[in-house]
Amino acid sequence: MHPLTTKFTALMNIQSPIVGAPMYFATTPDMVVAVSGSGGFGFIAAGFESSETLKKQLQYVRSKLNVAAGIPLPTGVGLLGWILDKTEISDDPRIPAVLDELPAAIWFAFGTNLGKYVEHVRAYDEKRDPEKPHKTLVFVIVNSVEDALRAANEWKVDVLVVQGTEAGGHGGASAPPLLNLLQGVLDAIPTDGPAIIAAGGISTGAQIAALLTLGASGVVLGTRFLFTPECMYSDQMKAVLLDAGLNSTARSLAFDEINRTAMWPEGIDGRAIANNILVDYREGKLDLETRLKKADADKANGKTDRLVIWAGVGVGHVKEIKGASEVLRCLHEETVAALITIAQLQ
Amino acid sequence: MHPLTTKFTALMNIQSPIVGAPMYFATTPDMVVAVSGSGGFGFIAAGFESSETLKKQLQYVRSKLNVAAGIPLPTGVGLLGWILDKTEISDDPRIPAVLDELPAAIWFAFGTNLGKYVEHVRAYDEKRDPEKPHKTLVFVIVNSVEDALRAANEWKVDVLVVQGTEAGGHGGASAPPLLNLLQGVLDAIPTDGPAIIAAGGISTGAQIAALLTLGASGVVLGTRFLFTPECMYSDQMKAVLLDAGLNSTARSLAFDEINRTAMWPEGIDGRAIANNILVDYREGKLDLETRLKKADADKANGKTDRLVIWAGVGVGHVKEIKGASEVLRCLHEETVAALITIAQLQ
């Protein structure tokens, strides 16, 4: 693999600027192994799992990647702010347990006070054995220029994940399209600030090359990695993805209602396949209980038109299932090829 | 100016891949002169003007650009399909009158049967004096992959303007974001098909470089040229634009209602500054007559919060007014600089 060197790849000590998004309900430890093991950077997606489960997942990744104990893992853990608000005051706080496993990075998303958790990470690293120092790199997802300025200036994060409205799964309900949001963040954050990486709707190497040209130093792909055997989506859900086009998704809170996960902070919603869940919701005639019954019944009957299938706009570009490791390598080579082509323009 | 050579610039015989969009109510012949005269390509925006007025505008551009009679003009005319449906069956059809002035290109947008007008152009060119042949290049705006395939395969257009949801003024109500729509069109159209240029939300050279890297061979900017003395927007409207951010615009039919221009084909709406026009509309309590009265009263009182101000998402990146010719040159140099930077990455 022809390595690409950017501010982000240098910071992470990786060969490819491609990050696999932490996707709860979709990412598996095997997906993380494939992405981190092929030159990119993968994130485990934490939901409500116990510390023990998260530690086991990290230990599994360590063993599969053949990284010796005591050496930082070239992988990360994605944590949700509103879940941390519950777990970190419980008798089983997740952040210290996770950090104990030496992940290279932690990714925080969707909380009303993520700064507090950034502090937890910094404090944990401060207290490590001075003989074995480790700085956990902190990623925070941002959906506006204001978010980016706060994360950079107040929380001093290491990496800003700039997520446009195109992104699948959860994100800012009023996030601008990526081509504008990324430009806005690049204009607002000084070059000696956090590394800036782009997320949302990205499924091809040409798009990655474009975003690097715009000024991102890395990219995050989620939906692209749903089309892999490593993704925990069912074959039925993957068949829906394979059929989807550029207008097959929509942002709405309707999906979380049916998923029984409608506890996200204000201003956050989710993008998923726009199926009958959305039709029912927009018609506005059925109460939630009735809508849940319809969705449960359809699911029980093997139908797909009321399944919650989180996916981004980039779902429309992918027409095959292949291994996550091959996906990463192909995307990287497509990116290099697009950059070589454009370099020849001048 | 360091010229950039792409399939599009070669086709148009221009030095910069930047096109000034035809913006009815905004573009002036002086803006067209500035853009075409500085290495880019400008379009006059035709609405309901008579043939005589359009011819006069083209003659003015010809004189300002010092292009001798009989030589094709390095500029175009943008025509709206739903207006052509009325004018071309009148006793003053616009297409032949415009073609008589030898514009290099014609741009068709927003009609239920644009293919018919493409045929009119081809037929007119066929009948020209064989001693003075001229092929008018036909641009058509597309908001979906299906639109692009029809325009390329059935209508055999020369240039596809791929317009994402970010675009200001009129466009497809369900157009995907540009980074995805452009990728989709590039995948669908063979390399020996029409030139593919990108439109929507573009205000910076870095964005232009990104879109060229993705595979566009040119770009169309509209909103960026609103911030010029050549734009016919009032100073008051320009002041609103200068204050706008990345979340200041929205797509809606509400603006056309207040503008008394709600006669666009199905599936088309417009993006403008999201002000009280939109608030009134979304509340759904006031009938159109009352909303018109409120807007008229606000306007009469010098208020800006119910003015119809068409603008794209890229409005958030521009913080100064300067001449259209300088805008074009700066954008071009920023584009070249971004391409040189990315070429050094490898």
**Do A150 and A261 lie in a common domain?**
no
Measured CA to CA, the distance from residue A266 to residue A282 in angstroms comes to: 20
Digit-coded pLDDT (tens) for A256-268: 999 999 999 999 9
pLDDT at B344: 80
pLDDT at A346: 57
CB-nearest partner of B246 from A145, A209, A215:
A145
Q: Is A10 on the interface with B (CB under 8 A)?
A: no
B212 vs chain A: nearest CA distance in angstroms?
7
Q: Are B57 and B73 in contact (CB under 8 A)?
A: no
Residue B346 pLDDT exceeds 90: no
Q: Is B274 on the interface with A (CB under 8 A)?
A: no
Which amino acid belongs to residue A73? L
**Do B80 and B228 lie in a common domain?**
yes
CB contact under 8 A, B187 and A317: yes
Distances (CA, A) of B143 to B178, B191, B277: 9, 19, 25
Helix (H, G, I), strand (E, B) or coil at A92: coil
Task: Give the domain CATH number at A82.
Answer: 3.20.20.70
Q: Is A336 on the interface with B (CB under 8 A)?
A: yes
B126 vs chain A: nearest CA distance in angstroms?
35
pLDDT at B1: 84
Q: Which residues of B touch A318 (CB under 8 A)?
A: none
Nearest CA-CA partner of A138 in A77, A190, A189 = A77
DSSP for residue B310: B
**Do B163 and B81 lie in a common domain?**
yes
**Do A134 and A189 lie in a common domain?**
yes
CB contact under 8 A, B346 and A4: yes
CB-nearest partner of A187 from B5, B211, B317:
B317
Give the mean pLDDT of B287-291.
96
CB-nearest partner of B176 from A247, A336, A340:
A247
Helix (H) or strand (E) holding B141: strand B137-142
Q: Which residues of A touch B201 (CB under 8 A)?
A: 177, 179-180
pLDDT at A1: 84
Range of the domain at B81: 7-232+319-343
B279: tokens are 């608030």
**pLDDT > 90 fraction of chain B, expressed in percent and rounded:** 98
**Do A92 and A199 lie in a common domain?**
yes
**Do B181 and B290 lie in a common domain?**
no
CB contact under 8 A, A179 and B204: no
For residue A244, being part of any structural domain is answered with no
Supply φ then ψ for residue B305, to 5 degrees.
-80, 0
For residue A311, being part of any structural domain is answered with no
Q: Is A177 on the interface with B (CB under 8 A)?
A: yes
**Do A194 and A139 lie in a common domain?**
yes
DSSP for residue B23: -
For testing contact with chain A, the best of B6, B149, B183, B203 (most A CBs within 10 A): B183
For residue A64, being part of any structural domain is answered with yes
List b or e across A275-305, with b for residues whose CB sees 16 or more CB atoms inside 10 angstroms: bbbbebbeeeeeeeeebbebbeebbeeeebe
Give the mean pLDDT of B182-187.
98
**Do B45 and B167 lie in a common domain?**
yes
Give the mean pLDDT of B163-188.
98
Rg (C-alpha) for chain B, rounded Å, is 19
For residue A74, being part of any structural domain is answered with yes
pLDDT at A343: 83
Give the mean pLDDT of B315-331.
98
Residues of chain A with pLDDT under 50: none
For testing contact with chain B, the best of A5, A213, A335 (most B CBs within 10 A): A213
Digit-coded pLDDT (tens) for B193-243: 999 999 999 999 999 999 999 999 999 999 999 999 999 999 999 999 999
Nearest CA-CA partner of B332 in B196, B208, B226 = B208
- Nearest chain A alpha carbon to B4: A346
Q: Is A217 on the interface with B (CB under 8 A)?
A: no
Give the mean pLDDT of B33-44.
98
Residue B67 pLDDT exceeds 90: yes
CB contact under 8 A, A179 and B246: no
Measured CA to CA, the distance from residue A36 to residue A42 in angstroms comes to: 5
Give the A:B interface size as CB pairs under 8 Å. Answer: 152
Across chain B, mean pLDDT equals: 97
For residue B279, being part of any structural domain is answered with yes
Q: Are B101 and B69 in contact (CB under 8 A)?
A: no
Number of domains in chain B: 2
**Do B177 and B267 lie in a common domain?**
no
**Do A191 and A282 lie in a common domain?**
no
For testing contact with chain A, the best of B166, B214, B217 (most A CBs within 10 A): B214
**Do A98 and A209 lie in a common domain?**
yes
Residue with tokens 């596809």: B160
For residue A54, being part of any structural domain is answered with yes
CB-nearest partner of B181 from A181, A246, A340:
A246
Digit-coded pLDDT (tens) for B134-174: 999 999 999 999 999 999 999 999 999 999 999 999 999 99
pLDDT at A317: 98
CB contact under 8 A, A184 and B246: yes
**Do B15 and B118 lie in a common domain?**
yes
Nearest CA-CA partner of A209 in A119, A295, A331, A303 = A331
Q: CA dihedral defined by A77, A83, A85, A91, rounded to 10 degrees? A: -80
Q: Got the DSSP string for B237-282? A: HHHHHHH--TTSEEEESHHHHHHT---PPTTEEEEEE--HHHHHHH
CB contact under 8 A, A338 and B246: no
For residue B193, being part of any structural domain is answered with yes
For residue B2, being part of any structural domain is answered with no
- Nearest chain B alpha carbon to A336: B346
Supply φ then ψ for residue B190, to 5 degrees.
-65, 160
Rg (C-alpha) for chain A, rounded Å, is 19
- Nearest chain B alpha carbon to A338: B213
pLDDT at A344: 80
